[in-house]
């Protein structure tokens, strides 16, 4: 065999190996590109909550397919599908707020009850004081009439209502002035008097040493 024939055979062998390597490189490059596209598609799908962190992908004709991950498969790397974890965290945070909201509502209810009780107490004290002023006013008018001469006459006015409540006023046994509402009453002893006072306008007279109302 000549030297030129040997060199020709060596070049032919190298070309054959090169022709075999190039298609393999092309296939490997295409496979890597397909894997990168699939990974990018998976990450984008996770951002839209279309896949969960327990899913895996298979690559078929450049399409991303979802499969539930079995126990023996490795988990998806940390950082993917973060939106699902954010949703869970928000839900947990809302649940943790529920006891505080209930406690706040209870405290607000107690506050309203206490304020309402105090307002009722103030209203009741006002009603009692007004009743006491009414019987004292009638007593004062009768006392003035008892201390003057016959022929005395005077008009005076009592409140028609105590706040929004109605009341009644009268003289018991001719000498005890009493005013009452549905909840309270007040009374005072006065001079002998005939007749009965009423809410509103009243007329007091004294004739023959007898004091007459209305």
Question: Residue 208 pLDDT more than 80?
Answer: yes
When mean pLDDT is compared across 6-10, 87-91, 94-98, the lowest value belongs to: 6-10
Question: Residue 9 pLDDT more than 70?
Answer: no
Q: Examine the domain organization and report whether 29 and 128 are in the same domain.
A: no
Sheet strands (E) in the chain? 55-60, 63-68, 152-158, 168-172, 176-180, 185-189, 194-195, 200-207, 210-213
Q: Examine the domain organization and report whether 146 and 106 are in the same domain.
A: yes
Q: Examine the domain organization and report whether 127 and 207 are in the same domain.
A: yes
13's tokens: 């062998």
Q: Examine the domain organization and report whether 56 and 140 are in the same domain.
A: no
Q: Examine the domain organization and report whether 23 and 111 are in the same domain.
A: no
Total structural domains in the chain? 2
Question: Residue 200 pLDDT more than 80?
Answer: yes
Q: Examine the domain organization and report whether 120 and 142 are in the same domain.
A: yes
Q: Examine the domain organization and report whether 68 and 96 are in the same domain.
A: no
Write out pLDDT tens, residues 24-54.
555 456 556 666 765 666 566 555 544 444 4
Which pLDDT band holds residue 125 (cuts at 50, 70, 90)?
confident
- Sheet with 152-158: list strands edge to edge: 152-158, 200-207, 210-213, 194-195
pLDDT at residue 92, rounded to an integer? 75
pLDDT at residue 56, rounded to an integer? 45
Q: Examine the domain organization and report whether 56 and 102 are in the same domain.
A: no
Tracing tokens 């505080």 back to the chain, one arrives at: 100
Domain containing 40 equals 3-76
Question: Which residue did the predictor score with more confidence, 205 or 24?
Answer: 205
Q: Examine the domain organization and report whether 192 and 133 are in the same domain.
A: yes
> How far is 171 from 126, CA to CA, in rounded Å?
23
pTM: 0.50
pLDDT at residue 118, rounded to an integer? 82
């Amino acid at each position: 065999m000549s030297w030129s024939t040997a060199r020709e055979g060596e070049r032919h062998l190298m070309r054959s190996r090169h022709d075999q390597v190039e298609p393999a490189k092309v296939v490997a490059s295409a496979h890597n590109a397909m894997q990168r596209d699939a990974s990018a598609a998976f990450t984008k799908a996770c951002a839209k909550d279309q896949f969960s962190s327990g899913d895996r992908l298979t690559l078929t004709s450049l399409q991303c397919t979802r499969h539930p991950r079995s126990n023996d498969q490795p988990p998806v790397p940390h950082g993917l599908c973060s939106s699902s974890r954010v949703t869970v965290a928000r839900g947990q945070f809302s649940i943790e707020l529920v006891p505080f909201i209930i406690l706040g509502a209870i405290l607000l209810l107690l506050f309203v009850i206490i304020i309402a009780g105090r307002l009722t107490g103030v209203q009741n004290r006002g009603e009692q004081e007004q009743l006491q002023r009414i019987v004292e006013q009638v007593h004062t008018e009768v006392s003035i009439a008892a201390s003057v001469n016959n022929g005395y006459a005077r008009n005076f006015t009592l409140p028609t209502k105590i706040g929004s409540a109605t009341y009644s006023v009268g003289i018991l046994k001719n000498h005890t002035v009493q005013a009452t509402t549905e909840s309270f009453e007040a009374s005072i002893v006065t001079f002998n008097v005939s007749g009965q006072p009423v809410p509103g306008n009243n007329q007091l007279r004294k004739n023959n040493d007898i004091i007459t109302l209305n």
